[in-house]
Chains A and B, each alone.
Chain A
Amino acid sequence: MAGSRTSATEVIGRGHPWLSLAPALGVIAVLFGGGLVLGLAGSFGMGRGGWTFEPWLAVLSEGRVWRALGLSLWIAFASTALACGLGLGAALLLRRRFPGQGLARLLFQINLTIPHAVGALGILWLLSQSGFLARLAGGAGLIDGPAGFPALTQDRHAIGIIAHYVWKEVPFIGLILLANMQSIGDDPEAAARSLGASPFAAMRLVLLPLLRPALIRAGAIVFAFSFGAWEVPVLLGQSAPPALPVLAWQRFTDPDLAARPEAMAIAMLIALVSALLIRAAFAGRS
Chain B
Amino acid sequence: MKRMMAGLGGALILAGGLAHAQEGDALLDMSWDEIVETARGGEVNVFMWGGADNINAYVSDYIGGQLEDDYDITLNRVPLTDTAEAVNIVLGEVEAGAAEGAVDMIWINGENFRTMKQGDLAWCGYVDKLPNADLVNFDNPAIANDFGTPVEGCEVPWSRVQFAFANDTARTPEPPRSIPELIDWAEANPGRFTYPAPPDFTGAAFVRHVFTHVAGGADALIGPFDQAKFDEVAEETWEILNDLEPHLWREGRTYPTSITQLQQMFANQEVDLFFTYDPAEVGTAVANGIFPETMQSYGLSDGTLANTNYMVIPVNAANKAAALVTQNLLLSGEAQLEKAQPEVWGAATVIEPDRASKEVQAGFAALERHPSVVSIEELGQAALPELTPDWTSKIEDGWIENVGN
Interface check A238, CB cutoff 8 A: yes
B328 at the interface (CB under 8 A from A): no
B254–A47 CB distance below 8 A: no
Of all chain A residues, the one with the shortest Cβ separation from B403 is A240
Is B244 interfacial (CB 8 A cutoff)? no
Q: How large is the interface on B (under 10, 10 to 19, 20 to 34, 35 or more residues)?
A: 35 or more
Whether A239 contacts B91 in the complex (CB less than 8 A), given A64-B405, A253-B82, comes out as no
**Does any Cβ of A come within 8 Å of B250's Cβ?**
yes
Q: Report the Cα distance A247→B2, complex, angstroms.
A: 31
Interface residue tally for chain A (C-beta within 8 Å) = 28
User: In the bound complex, do residue A239 and residue B270 qualify as a contact, i.e. CB atoms below 8 Å apart?
Assistant: no
B389 touches A145 (CB 8 A): no
Asked if A257 and B119 sit within 8 Å, CB to CB, the answer is yes
Chain A 205-262 residues near chain B, CB threshold 8 A: 234, 237-242, 250, 252-257, 260
Among listed A10-18, A19-27, A52-60, A149-157, interface-contacting one: A149-157
Contacts known (A50-B6, A254-B84); A239 close to B254, Cβ less than 8 A: yes
Residue B197 is within 8 A (CB to CB) of chain A in the complex? yes
- In the assembly, what is the distance between CA of A175 and CA of B84, in Å? 40
Tell whether, in the assembled complex, residue A154 and residue B84 are in contact, meaning their CB atoms are under 8 Å apart: no
Q: Tell me whether A154 and B112 are in contact (CB under 8 A).
A: no
Residue numbers in A under 8 Å from B389 (CB-CB): 255
| Shortest Cβ distance from B270 into A: residue | A146
A147 adjacent to chain B (CB < 8 Å): yes
- Bound together, the chains give a CA A155 to CA B119 distance in angstroms of 39
Interface 1/0s, chain B 1-12, versus A by CB < 8 A? 010001001000
Task: Give chain A's interface secondary structure class.
Answer: loop
Tell whether A109 is near chain B: CB-to-CB under 8 Å. no
Q: Are A130 and B270 in contact (CB under 8 A)?
A: yes
Residues of A within 8 A of B191 (CB): 147
Q: Does A51 contact B (CB under 8 A)?
A: yes
B404 at the interface (CB under 8 A from A): yes
Chain A residues closer than 8 Å to B95, beta-carbon distance = 47
The closest CB in chain B to the CB of A151 belongs to B250
Docked-complex contact A256 and B6, CB < 8 angstroms: no
Additional 17 contacts, C-beta under 8 A, given A238-B257, A253-B82, A254-B84: A64-B400, A64-B405, A130-B269, A146-B269, A154-B254, A154-B257, A155-B254, A238-B253, A238-B254, A239-B197, A239-B255, A239-B256, A240-B404, A242-B257, A253-B85, A255-B87, A255-B112
